[in-house]
Amino acid sequence: MKKFITISSLVPILFIAGCSQIPSYEHPKTELPKTWPSENAGLVLQMNVDDKSWWQQLSGDQSLQTLIDEALEHNSDIALAKLNLLQAQSLLKQSQSSRFPEIGLTAGLSRTQTSDEAYPQFTQTSYGNFSLGTLLSYELDLWGKVDALNQQAEANLNATQADYQTVKLTVSAAVANAYLNLMALNQDVELAENTVQSRKEALELRQTQLEYGSVTPLSVHQAEAELASVELAFNQQQVQRDLQLHALAVLVGRSPKSLMTMSRETLQTNKLTLIESLPLPNILPSELLERRPDILAAEQRLIAANANIGLAKAALFPSISLTGLVGFQSEALNRLFAAGSNNWNASADINAPIFDYGRRQTNVEVSEIEKQAMLIQYQQTIRTAFKEVLDAMTQLEGSYKQLEAQQHQVTALQQTLDLAQTRFDAGYSSYLEVLDAQRNLFSAELSQVAVKLTYSTALVNLYKALGGNWETQTAKNPSIKG
C-alpha cells in the first residue's frame, strides 16, 4: 500500500500545464461603412417580425412556411450538414480526452515448462505466471500541444455549426424562391389559359362574321394563327410550372414515390402581389458580421488555422511520456493477492527530434501559410456578403420602379386593345391592329408577372443576405432591432 501511495503521489505531475505555442489571435480589422446607402435605406423598416409572419406576408398563406418546415426536416443538404456537425462534436470530445491520463487494466496468465536439454541441462521445471494490474500512461503537455488541439477542434466545431446554419438559411431561401417562381408560373398559366379562351371566342366570332360576309377569310386565318400562338405559350407555361413543381418537391425532400404521383393540382398558390410594407429589421453594416453564419464560419476557421500553428510549433520540442503500473503478480493463482505479491513500475520516455530534414519546420511554415489563406477567405466572405446585400437592395429598388412603369404599360395597352377593337368593329381599321394590340397586351401582362417575381425574389435575397432568422438572431444579439 505504501508503494501504491508513492506512485499515486506522482499523479499531480501529469497535469502540469505547458507553455502554449499558439500565436496571439487578433480579430481581423475590416473597414466597414457606418450605414447603408441612403437611397436604399427606406427599404429597411424598423418593425417587429418573426420568420413565420415574414414568410406568410410574402406568400399570402401558410403554404410557404409549411414547405420550409418540411425542407428543414427532410432536405438532404441539411441532413449532411447535421452529420458534419455531429462529427465535429465527437472530434472535440476526442481532443478534450487527451488532457487526462489513459488508465487501462492489464491481466495475464500463463504456464511454462522448460526443457531438460536446454542450458543448463537437466533442470526441467514447470511454473505459472499470473498477473493483474492497472496501467497509467500520459504525455506531458509541456509545449501546449493538447491546448492547441482543443482550440483547433473547438473552432472547427463552431465553424461547422455556422455551416449548418448557413445551409438551413440557404435551403429556406431556395424553397422560398422556388415557391415564388411557382406562384408566378401558376399566374402565367392562368393568364395564358384565359387568353386562349378569349382567342377562341374571337375566332368563333370571326367565323360567324365570315358567314354573314362582314369580314374576309383573312381575318379568320389571322384569328386562327393568334389562337395557335397563345395555345403554344399556354403549353410552354404548363411544362415550366410542372418542372418547377418537381424541383420544389426534391428541394423539400419528397420521396421518389411522392414525386412520381404529384400532379399540377397538388399545390395551389395565390397570385404574386406588390408587397410594399414587408418588415425587415434595421440592421447596421457592422452587425452583418455578427449575423451572417458564413462570416462566423470563416472567422472560426481562421482561429483553427491559428491554433494549428501552435500545434506545428509544439512538434519542434521534445515530448515526455509517463507510464506507471501498479498490480499483483504470483506463480500461483490462489496466491495472487497474498502479502508480498504486489508490484509496481514507473517510467518516463523522452522523444526529442534531432534531425528530420526540416520536416517539422516545414509544417510550421505550411500552417502559417494556411492561416494567411484563411484570412484572405474571411475577407473575401465579408466582401461577398456586402455585395449580396447591396445587390438585393438595388434589385429591390429597381424592380419596384419597373413595376410602376409596367403597370402603366399594361393599362395603356388595355386601352389600346379596346380602341383597336372598336375601330375594327366600326370598319375603320383591319383586324391586324387588333391582333397587334392583343399580342402586346399579353406580352406586357407576362412581363408584369416577371417583374413582380423579381421584386419578391429580391426580398428573399435580402432576407438571406442579412442573415435571416429575424427572431433567433435578435434573441442572440440585443443590438439588433426588430
pLDDT per position as a tens digit, 51-60 = 787 888 888 8
Q: Highest mean pLDDT: which of 86-100, 343-357, 371-385?
A: 371-385
Cα–Cα distance, 60 to 273 (Å, whole number): 9
pLDDT score, position 10: 45
pLDDT per position as a tens digit, 292-326 = 999 999 999 999 999 989 888 888 888 888 888 88
Q: All 3 cell numbers of residue 393?
A: 437592395
Q: Highest mean pLDDT: which of 223-227, 386-390, 478-482?
A: 386-390
User: Cβ(317)–Cβ(142) under 8 Å?
Assistant: yes
The residues pairing with 57 across neighbouring beta strands, listed in sequence order, are none
**Nearest Cα to Cα of residue 177 among 469, 465, 460, 397:** 460
Q: Binning pLDDT at 50, 70 and 90, where does residue 272 land?
A: confident
Q: Binning pLDDT at 50, 70 and 90, where does residue 49 land?
A: low
Of 153-167, 270-284, 291-305, 388-402, give the lowest mean pLDDT range: 270-284
Domain 1-31+100-140+319-352 fold:
Outer membrane efflux proteins (OEP) (2.20.200)
pLDDT mean over 333-340: 78
Concatenated DSSP letters for 207-258? Answer: HHHHHTTSS-HHHHHHHHHHHHHHHHHHHHHHHHHHHHHHHHHHHTT--HHH
pLDDT score, position 13: 45
Q: Highest mean pLDDT: which of 139-153, 182-196, 270-284, 291-305?
A: 291-305
pLDDT score, position 277: 59
In this structure, CATH architecture of domain 32-99+144-317+359-476: Up-down Bundle (1.20)
pLDDT mean over 55-73: 88
Q: Binning pLDDT at 50, 70 and 90, where does residue 179 land?
A: very high
User: Cβ(181)–Cβ(244) under 8 Å?
Assistant: yes
**Nearest Cα to Cα of residue 65 among 165, 176, 186, 166:** 176
Residue 9 has pLDDT above 80, yes or no: no
Q: Binning pLDDT at 50, 70 and 90, where does residue 194 land?
A: confident
pLDDT per position as a tens digit, 197-234 = 888 888 888 888 888 887 888 888 888 888 898 889 88
pLDDT score, position 177: 93
pLDDT score, position 431: 77
Mean pLDDT of the chain: 82
pTM above 0.85, yes or no: no
pLDDT mean over 374-382: 94
Residue 472 has pLDDT above 70, yes or no: no
Residue 11 has pLDDT above 60, yes or no: no
CATH 1.20.1600.10 in the chain: give the residue spans: 32-99+144-317+359-476
User: Cβ(143)–Cβ(314) under 8 Å?
Assistant: yes
Q: All 3 cell numbers of residue 391?
A: 445587390
pLDDT score, position 115: 79
For residue 125, the Cα-to-chain-centroid distance in whole angstroms is: 72
**Nearest Cα to Cα of residue 220 among 228, 209, 229, 236:** 209
pLDDT score, position 265: 55
Q: Binning pLDDT at 50, 70 and 90, where does residue 14 land?
A: very low
Of 6-15, 89-98, 229-238, 334-343, give the lowest mean pLDDT range: 6-15
C-alpha torsion angle, residues 376, 378, 380, 386 (rounded to 10):
-150
Q: Binning pLDDT at 50, 70 and 90, where does residue 378 land?
A: very high
CATH 2.20.200.10 in the chain: give the residue spans: 1-31+100-140+319-352
pLDDT mean over 274-289: 73
Q: All 3 cell numbers of residue 102?
A: 489513459
